[in-house]
């Protein structure tokens, strides 16, 4: 396989359980990663980072480096530079970002582009500067053009206008991909960008002001089922109607977050940037449902018996978003947790952690 920068110049050898040896790219030094490689996981307390941490620990990785946001603000270059100089990680997984749903992206466009650009520039640049040869960068499916043909192939990047509602965030993510690709081309690093589809699962954000669609639905149906006060504090009867944004017709793909984490560890062990066209790879299920179908599934699993109202004055976002996951499938990875089971697990987790909400 070739990518836009030329033929493959390295290869990966090894298995999930064993040692991985990364053979040299042209003129480069031999890199190796093993279960005791010093891995810095940025964003380990987030939905994605938390799942990756569990997957790495389960996979036997024993030399993991983490910092909370309070301990290390990744938007601050000096802090990041000092951290890399002191800790000297050998491999980096960048899962820290400012993340939110349509509402948060719409209301805070500047924060979404500024903070994400700063985090990416600081972490990717300081990683390279301190000699890190290998990095996995978490992007997002929203990098693809709004009207791109479906399913979304990696090669559709930058072929058309982006979705308006999250353009600042998407542009920051595209800049992150370009940082990785530029370093790979100019300095022979192995910085791979992963584009996950919409994710959900335990530790998701259930705050209605900032959450993604699935956790918002779980919370709304659960609170309406119990007749808890509505969003404006109004009193409600049990099984009160639930109002959801948009028309319900957009189609979305959802991946259980532990599957994403499994894919991250799989790619860490079985792929690298030069093997993949454009140095990026989609991670998803390749299957989608309408928002209406998703709402009915959540309603059923939560046990809400009231009506669903669709507020069509609110934006729908991209009409359809489903990933072409053939590159990942060819490498030998596929998801394991189907949607119904994943939503059930997520709702169970939500019930167990209600007091934190």
In the complex, minimum distance from the CB of residue 350 to ligand NDP, in angstroms, rounded to a whole number = 15
Rounded to 5 degrees, φ, ψ at 5 are -95, 0
Q: Residue 315: count other Cβ atoms within 10 Å of its Cβ.
A: 16
Nearer to ligand NDP, 240 or 263 (CB): 263
Task: Note whether 151 binds ligand NDP by CB under 6 A.
Answer: no
Distance CA 259, CA 217 (A): 21
Task: Note whether 73 binds ligand NDP by CB under 6 A.
Answer: yes
Among 37, 140, 165, 211, binds ligand NDP (CB under 6 A): 140
Among 138, 183, 240, 263, binds ligand NDP (CB under 6 A): 138
Helix residue ranges per DSSP H, 197-332: 213-226, 257-270, 291-302, 326-331
Q: In b/e form, how buried is each residue of 71-94, taking b as 16+ CB within 10 angstroms?
A: ebbbbeeebbeebbeeeebbbbbb
Question: Of residues 118-137, which lie at the interface with ligand NDP (CB under 6 A)?
Answer: 119
Task: Note whether 317 binds ligand NDP by CB under 6 A.
Answer: no
Among 20, 56, 99, 268, binds ligand NDP (CB under 6 A): 99
Please state, in angstroms and as integers, the Cα–Cα distance from residue 280 to each residue in 4, 130, 254, 325, following that order: 11, 23, 19, 12
Q: Give 37's DSSP letter.
A: S
In the complex, minimum distance from the CB of residue 197 to ligand NDP, in angstroms, rounded to a whole number = 7
With beta carbons less than 8 A apart as the criterion, state whether 174 and 157 touch: yes
Q: Which residues are marked as active site?
A: 169
Binding mask 212-241 for ligand NDP (x = CB under 6 A): x-----------------------------
Task: Give the HSE-up count for residue 78: Cα atoms under 13 Å, Cβ half-sphere.
Answer: 0
Question: Of residues 8-47, which lie at the interface with ligand NDP (CB under 6 A)?
Answer: 43, 45-47
Task: Note whether 271 binds ligand NDP by CB under 6 A.
Answer: no
Task: Note whether 207 binds ligand NDP by CB under 6 A.
Answer: no
Among 9, 98, 220, 272, binds ligand NDP (CB under 6 A): 98
Distance CA 276, CA 1 (A): 7
In the complex, minimum distance from the CB of residue 43 to ligand NDP, in angstroms, rounded to a whole number = 3
Distance CA 310, CA 299 (A): 14
Residues interacting with ligand NDP, by CB under 6 A?
A: 43, 45-49, 69, 72-75, 95-99, 115, 119, 138, 140, 196, 198-199, 205, 212
């Amino acid at each position: 396989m070739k990518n836009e920068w030329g033929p493959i110049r390295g290869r990966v050898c090894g298995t999930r359980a064993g040692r991985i040896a990364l053979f040299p790219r042209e003129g480069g030094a031999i890199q190796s990663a093993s279960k005791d490689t010093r891995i810095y996981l940025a964003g380990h307390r987030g939905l994605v980072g938390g799942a990756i941490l569990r997957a790495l620990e389960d996979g036997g990785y024993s030399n993991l480096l983490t910092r909370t946001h309070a301990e290390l603000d990744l938007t601050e270059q000096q802090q990041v530079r000092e951290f890399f100089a002191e800790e000297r990680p050998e491999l980096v997984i960048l899962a820290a970002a400012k993340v939110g749903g349509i509402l948060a992206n719409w209301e805070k466009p500047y924060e979404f582009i500024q903070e994400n650009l700063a985090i990416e520039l600081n972490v990717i640049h300081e990683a390279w500067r301190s000699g890190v040869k290998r990095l996995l960068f978490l992007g997002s499916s929203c990098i693809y053009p709004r009207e791109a043909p479906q399913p979304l192939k990696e090669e559709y990047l930058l072929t058309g206008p982006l979705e308006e509602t999250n353009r600042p965030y998407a542009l920051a993510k595209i800049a992150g991909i370009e940082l990785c690709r530029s370093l790979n081309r100019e300095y022979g690093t192995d910085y791979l960008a992963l584009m996950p589809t919409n994710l959900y699962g335990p530790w998701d954000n259930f705050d209605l002001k900032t959450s993604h669609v699935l956790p918002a639905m779980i919370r709304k149906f659960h609170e309406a089922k119990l007749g808890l006060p509505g969003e404006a504090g109004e009193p409600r009867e049990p099984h009160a109607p639930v109002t959801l944004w948009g028309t319900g017709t957009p189609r979305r793909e959802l991946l259980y977050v532990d599957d994403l984490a499994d894919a991250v560890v799989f790619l860490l062990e079985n792929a690298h940037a030069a093997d993949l066209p454009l140095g990026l790879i989609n991670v998803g299920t390749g299957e989608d449902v309408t928002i209406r179908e998703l709402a009915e599934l959540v309603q059923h699993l939560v046990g809400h018996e009231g009506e669903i109202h669709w507020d069509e004055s609110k934006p729908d976002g991209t009409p359809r978003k489903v990933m072409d996951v053939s590159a990942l499938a060819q490498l030998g990875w596929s998801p394991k947790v189907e949607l119904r089971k994943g939503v059930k697990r997520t709702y169970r987790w939500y019930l167990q952690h209600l007091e934190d909400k």
